[in-house]
Amino acid sequence: MNDKKKIRVACVGNPNCGKTTLFNALTGSRLKVANWPGVTVEKIEGQTSYEGYEIALLDTPGIYSLTCYTIEEKVTRQCVMDDDIDVIINIVDASSLERNLYLTLQLLELGKPVVLALNMMDIVKERGMEIDLHRLPEMLGDIPVVPVSAAKRTGLDILLHAVLHHYEEEKGAEYTLQYPEEIENKIAKLEVMMQAHYPTHSSVRWHAIKLLEDDEEVKSEHPIQVGNIVDKSYEKEIISCKYAYIESVVKEVLFHKSRKAATTDKVDRLLTHEWLGLPIFLCIMGLVFFLTFTIGDALKGVFEMALELFSEKAGAFLLRIGTSDWLISLIVDGIITGVGGILTFLPNICILFFALAILEDSGYMSRVAYVMDSIMGRVGLSGKAFLPMLLGFGCTVPAIMATRALETEQDRKKTMIITPFMSCSARLPIYVIFSEMFFPDCAGLVAFSFYVIGMAVAIITALVLNRIQKGHENNSLLIELPEYKRPNGRTVGIYVWNKLKDYLTKAGTTIFLASIAIWFLLNFGVTGMVEDTADSFGAVIGRLLVPVLAPAGLGMWQIAVALISGISAKEVVVSSFSVLFGVSNTNSAAGMAAIVANVQAVNPAFGPLNAYCLMLFCLLYIPCVAAVATIKKESGSWKFTARLMAFQVLTAWLFATLVFQIGSLFIS
């Protein structure tokens, strides 16, 4: 029995005003938060309860207006328009009140109960500004206005109380702005017509205003014959009226406006400098990868020792309890080797995501879009398309989802094509292992080269696509640059924890299953369990591909098996190498030496050049099953996805072959 009353509440507001931070604080969720507009691209529901109410809370992508522009904004509009939303919490960034109130005025016109949550009051205070909290609600028709700090989690109870109170009050429609007489007359006539056509409709006035603005979506959702009432689009007048009113509000409630935020502008003078901006960005990324490899390597020793000990003990234990040989082989050689090998990369992964989290939460992301705009402009994309690419250094899946914030379908597709070339964290173990095995003197540099190559291939691909499609040149950047801030500990913590959890889950599921599958493929053949892996099913399949891979210097059936299994997840390339060459502790000096010895026992010619080509191939071919599924979901087309996969394999093969053939000339 559940006698609690239920209500549905939506968090709505401008991009980057703190909706998700507030949502996390209210529901105890751990959604990703960062300091750039467009982090949230999906509608997410959470639960909380307060004063006998069961509250279903919705987090929505940020919007500047109810007239939409990109896919993720349409999600929000749809959500707000839904009749089952009982109360709207309009989160407002108090430090840019003037722009945020524009959406507020539109939400009020909808006629649903609106509660204003004034976030970021601390920044207001820091800048020496003051907001008159008595006058502000008065000028907005007495809706509740609650100052909160989503980051510090203050004012939350008052906010929930206000939401419930405002809901229970059941007063009439919210306050709305009065337009000049000419427009008001037209609105009144349209309202009557709307009422006649759609008697149950809940936001008649809003729809009437949108009809006057000539809004496409409203016209198609609720078509009525507007005749000569809408003789032109009144959009410009309506927007101007709203902003004129907001100016009068701001004049009344905001004090000491002139003292501006100097720090952000000072930092920006350097970071977005005409000449220095790009080199600074490249240095920052270089530093990120440098730290990932060096600190990560320093920490991994601990993991290796633990793994070695565990592997030994597990083997001995299984033997003692009388486990059959094949099962010991499966557990020790298959699972512990495959999964455990991957776990030793946790420190590297952790540091990479820690660095990315700090970049994202500091406010630098938007600046990267600005800095990269001229380069991206040459390949027919806006600087904003670089943001998904940058996220691609972490993981391709969220990076592909982030393309939703791009304005046109063509830009989205193009960005989806090039983003997988950005080297994700799953490819990192491959570089760590093979660079250290074959390039012991310059491992870091070799590993770093793949990040640069990945970016270069992405940009060249975009350039070629732009030539083929005769791309329109009017792709233009439009992005808000938030204040810089000190990265928040909790935010960074959530970010890194989520990524580590994903990584561990992947190790426990995909990589676990892949390791078992590889073990079976290598230990069973047509005759049953085989002694020599060369008679196994894996070898049979692998040999089929040897002629194709030979020109790229990868003509070994073991490599073919590793590459195929690597499609499940890129780390599996490493774990299959461990299983294939029977080395349990791949990421240690001894393990690496053993692999090199075993590889060269099979193919004495396999040297640094071959290893480089292998890493290059791994960088460019199909990222992983999860990324492919995301591309399918986001593009909505199997044809597009299949062609993209074919293109990736072809690109990988071409580049690896090119490097191997040219490289061989120099070596011989």
Residues lying near other proteins in the complex (CB under 8 A): 64-65, 67, 69, 95-99, 102, 235-236, 239-240, 243, 257, 264-265, 268-269, 272-274, 366, 369-370, 373-374, 377, 382-383, 407, 473-482
- Cβ proximity to other proteins: between 238 and 428 the closer is 238
Cβ proximity of 366 and 482 under 8 Å:
yes
- Picking from 643, 657, 575, 566, the residue whose alpha carbon sits closest to that of residue 609 is 657
We find the least distance from the C-beta atom of residue 309 to other proteins, in angstroms, to be 53
Q: How many residues does the chain have?
A: 668
We find the least distance from the C-beta atom of residue 289 to other proteins, in angstroms, to be 26
- Cβ proximity to other proteins: between 26 and 369 the closer is 369
Cβ proximity of 50 and 4 under 8 Å:
no
HSE, side-chain direction, 13 A CA sphere, residue 36: 26
Q: Rounded to whole angstroms, what are the CA distances from 326 to 520, 524, 526?
A: 10, 11, 17
Three-state DSSP class for 271?
Answer: helix
We find the least distance from the C-beta atom of residue 42 to other proteins, in angstroms, to be 21
- Picking from 145, 137, 181, the residue whose alpha carbon sits closest to that of residue 163 is 145
We find the least distance from the C-beta atom of residue 547 to other proteins, in angstroms, to be 48
Cβ proximity of 564 and 541 under 8 Å:
yes
- Cβ proximity to other proteins: between 382 and 533 the closer is 382
317 Cβ contact list (under 8 Å, min separation 6):
none
- Cβ proximity to other proteins: between 273 and 467 the closer is 273
We find the least distance from the C-beta atom of residue 20 to other proteins, in angstroms, to be 19
We find the least distance from the C-beta atom of residue 252 to other proteins, in angstroms, to be 16
Cβ proximity of 63 and 12 under 8 Å:
yes
- Cβ proximity to other proteins: between 190 and 371 the closer is 371
Three-state DSSP class for 159?
Answer: helix
CB < 8 Å & 24+ apart, contacts of 226-231: 226/190, 226/193, 229/186, 229/189, 229/190, 230/186, 230/190
- 5-13 and 53-59 strand pairing: parallel
- Cβ proximity to other proteins: between 15 and 538 the closer is 15
We find the least distance from the C-beta atom of residue 98 to other proteins, in angstroms, to be 4
We find the least distance from the C-beta atom of residue 120 to other proteins, in angstroms, to be 12
Encoded tokens for 273? 């400098």
We find the least distance from the C-beta atom of residue 470 to other proteins, in angstroms, to be 16
- Cβ proximity to other proteins: between 170 and 274 the closer is 274
We find the least distance from the C-beta atom of residue 374 to other proteins, in angstroms, to be 4
- Picking from 630, 479, 480, the residue whose alpha carbon sits closest to that of residue 42 is 630
Q: C-alpha 340: how far from its chain's center? A: 27
- Cβ proximity to other proteins: between 67 and 498 the closer is 67
- Cβ proximity to other proteins: between 474 and 527 the closer is 474
Encoded tokens for 161? 């109380």
We find the least distance from the C-beta atom of residue 5 to other proteins, in angstroms, to be 36
- Cβ proximity to other proteins: between 4 and 472 the closer is 472
- Cβ proximity to other proteins: between 99 and 485 the closer is 99
We find the least distance from the C-beta atom of residue 257 to other proteins, in angstroms, to be 8
- Cβ proximity to other proteins: between 244 and 529 the closer is 244
123 Cβ contact list (under 8 Å, min separation 6):
94, 95, 261, 483
DSSP state of 332: I
Which string of DSSP letters, residue by residue, matches 586-648? TTSHHHHHHHHHHHHHH-TT--HHHHHHHHHHHHHS---HHHHHHHHHHH--HHHHHHHHHHH
- Cβ proximity to other proteins: between 215 and 571 the closer is 215
We find the least distance from the C-beta atom of residue 489 to other proteins, in angstroms, to be 26
Fill in the amino acid letter for 541: I
Three-state DSSP class for 509?
Answer: coil
Q: Rounded to whole angstroms, what are the CA distances from 25 to 59, 160, 490?
A: 12, 12, 11
- Cβ proximity to other proteins: between 245 and 503 the closer is 245
Q: In angstroms, rounded to a whole number, what is the distance separating the alpha carbons of residues 36 and 485? A: 11
Q: In angstroms, rounded to a whole number, what is the distance separating the alpha carbons of residues 12 and 73? A: 11
We find the least distance from the C-beta atom of residue 293 to other proteins, in angstroms, to be 32
Q: What angle do CA 444, 449, 452 make, to 5 degrees?
A: 135
Cβ proximity of 30 and 498 under 8 Å:
yes
